[in-house]
Amino acid sequence: MALTLMKHVARLSRGSAVAVAVALLLAAALPQAALAQPTGVAPAAQQLLKASTDFLARQQRFSLETESSIDVVLATGQKIQFDHTARVSVERPNKLRAERTGDLVDQVFYYDGKSLTLHDPHDDYYATIAAPGTLEAMLDFAREKLDVVAPAGDLLYKNAYDILMQDVTSGFVVGKGVVDGVRCDHLAFRASLVDWQIWIEEGKRPLVRKLVITTRDKLNAPQFTVVAKNWNLEPKFSAATFSFKPSRSVRKVEFLLKNTGEPKAN
């Protein structure tokens, strides 16, 4: 945005002292870390990220809401953006519910420690399958066997730091930022195929407030952005929160195993 403003001022007042002064002012306003990317991973960036993931790993129950957008790149190179919202409830070690709605999906994701169920309220069908007995094992199973990814899934692992830092080649603290009215530390990392940025709340609750992932090996570098809000670290859940009981009208279907297309029974 600053670069666009600089070009605009230059066109209006090319060669004038005013244009030079405004350009210098805008450049000075940019964080120095953003002007020249450091090499390697800065210890300060590692520490902030580790503190955030460790903090969430210690929370036995929590809930949050997310707003996300994802780019889809057409064959022509044109980007199309789709938006989604989600409400996520977690109770460690083996409970999860995620209600997700938006342009591409309308579903509720239930995990009660024994089974995983996906319900589509719009088309009124559901699929259920036996699942591993821990949250982390279930998330692995859902991704690897069913091609199902829970909203903000990587952050839910107790070893989220190791997952996020896999293949990272550089990282630094960009500076301070504000997300949804919350002051944050803004970090930027680069891995082999993606760049990603994360905004972490300042203070005693270092919660993730925003995440941006840019895919560098795809045409026009599509992005995925998610903003996390309304964190609750003391929610009250009931057994019904994580269990799905279908009505008589809802239609049951079977999951398809990833890469095989074969139905998977309970």
Residue 26 shares a structural domain with residue 139: no
- The letter for the amino acid at 41 is V
Residue-wise pLDDT for 192-219, tens only, equals 999 999 999 999 999 999 999 999 988 8
Q: Say yes or no: 24 and 116 in one domain.
A: no
For residue 19, what are its two tokens? 């244009």
Residues 213-249 pLDDT 10s: 999 988 888 999 999 999 999 999 998 999 999 988 8
What's the CA gap between 171 and 40, in Å, rounded?
6
Q: Are residues 88 and 6 in the same domain?
A: no
Clarify whether residues 67 and 189 are in a common domain: yes
- Parallel, antiparallel, or unpaired for β 251-252 and 125-130? parallel
- For 189, residues 6+ apart whose C-beta sits below 8 A from its C-beta are 41, 45, 164, 165, 168, 170, 171, 195, 196, 197, 198
**Average pLDDT value for the chain:** 86
User: Residue 54 carries which side chain, given as an amino acid letter?
Assistant: D
Per-residue pLDDT, 4: 38
Residue 36 pLDDT greater than 70, yes or no: no
Pair 26, 47 in one domain? no
Mean pLDDT, range 139-155, rounded to an integer = 89
Residue 19 has pLDDT above 70, yes or no: no
Residue 70 has pLDDT above 70, yes or no: yes
Residue 91 in domain: yes
pLDDT band at 34; cut points 50, 70, 90: low
53 and 24 both lie in a single domain: no
pTM of the model: 0.83
Helical spans, DSSP H, in the chain: 2-12, 17-29, 32-35, 43-58, 135-146, 153-156, 160-165
Residues 239 and 160 in one domain: yes
pLDDT above 90 for 92:
yes
Three-state DSSP state, 185: strand
Q: What is the pLDDT of residue 264?
A: 54
Q: Tell me: do 73 and 16 sit in the same domain.
A: no
Least Cα distance to 163 among 34, 57, 38, 40 occurs for 57
Model confidence at 32, pLDDT cuts 50, 70, 90, reads low
Beta strands, E only, the chain: 61-73, 79-91, 95-102, 106-111, 115-120, 125-130, 170-179, 182-190, 194-201, 208-215, 223-232, 251-252, 255-256, 263-264
Residues 128 and 208 in one domain: yes
Q: Which of 2, 255, 12, 17 is nearest to 143 (CA)?
A: 255
What was the pLDDT predicted at 55?
98
Does residue 9 surpass a pLDDT of 80? Answer: no
Query: Which range marks the domain in which residue 16 is found?
Result: 2-30
Predicted pLDDT of residue 260:
56
pLDDT value of residue 256: 86
How many distinct structural domains can be found in the chain?
2
Q: 19 with 90, same domain? A: no
Q: Please, are residues 169 and 197 in contact by the beta-carbon 8 Å criterion? A: no
Whether 150 is in a domain gets the answer yes
pLDDT value, residue 15:
46
158 has a pLDDT exceeding 50? yes
The residues that bridge with 177 in the sheet, in sequence order, are 184
What are φ and ψ of residue 33, in 5° steps?
Answer: -65, -25
CATH number at residue 225: 2.50.20.10
